[in-house]
Copies of this chain bind each other. A is one copy, B any other.
Amino acid sequence: MIKENTGLEQKELSHLDAEGRIRMVDTSAKPITVRTAEASGFVKMAPETVAAIRDHRTPKGDPLETARLAGIMAAKRTAELIPLCHPLALSHADLQITLQDDGAQITSTASTSAQTGVEMEALTAVSVAALTLYDMCKAIDRRIEITDIRLERKIGGRSGEWHREKS
């Protein structure tokens, strides 16, 4: 059931070579194409924590903006964090964070013109934005949970467009 609208899933883990050793995929022969990826995640908070954030969204400093910036900056450093991820020159990274009564919904977009996709950049942006929200709120709520980090959409490259089925 893991196939969806592309039908091109591989059977093998791409980061292991024929002898089972960990490897970086060789993208030397791939064409440079425009690629975009979208990801999302949720930071589950107590209502009091959401209220505290809402109270502090002032012109002088919005906790959500700090998390957005942290996510954008982390996207640029994805290849330093994920061992087998290719370095690439991001042409764009963006995050949206919207408060809900039970937490914060985070969505991200990352784009590049490269020989490899930007899924990891989009997912890393969401993860670090979520961690930053945790950091800023942990003094009032240590029970915050980061959940549902996932790829939503992927455009470009050999397999064309893929989007997650609505559940």
Residues in chain A within 8 A of chain B (CB atoms): 1-2, 4, 9-16, 19-28, 30, 34, 36, 41, 46, 48-49, 52-53, 56-63, 65-66, 68-70, 72-74, 76-77, 79-94, 111-116, 119-120, 123-124, 127-128, 130-132, 134-151, 154, 162, 164
What distance in Å separates the Cβ of A152 from its nearest Cβ neighbour in chain B?
A: 10
Q: Which of B12, B56, B91, B141 contacts A16 (CB 8 A)?
A: B56
Q: How far is the CA of A27 from the CA of B90 in the complex (A)?
A: 9
A80 — which chain B residues lie within 8 A by C-beta?
73, 76-77
Provide the bound-state CA to CA distance between A70 and B73, in Å: 10
In the complex, the count of this chain's copies comes to 6
Q: With A65-B60, A120-B135, A136-B15 as given contacts, are A86 and B89 in contact (CB-CB < 8 Å)?
A: yes
Return A154 CB to nearest CB of chain B, in Å: 7
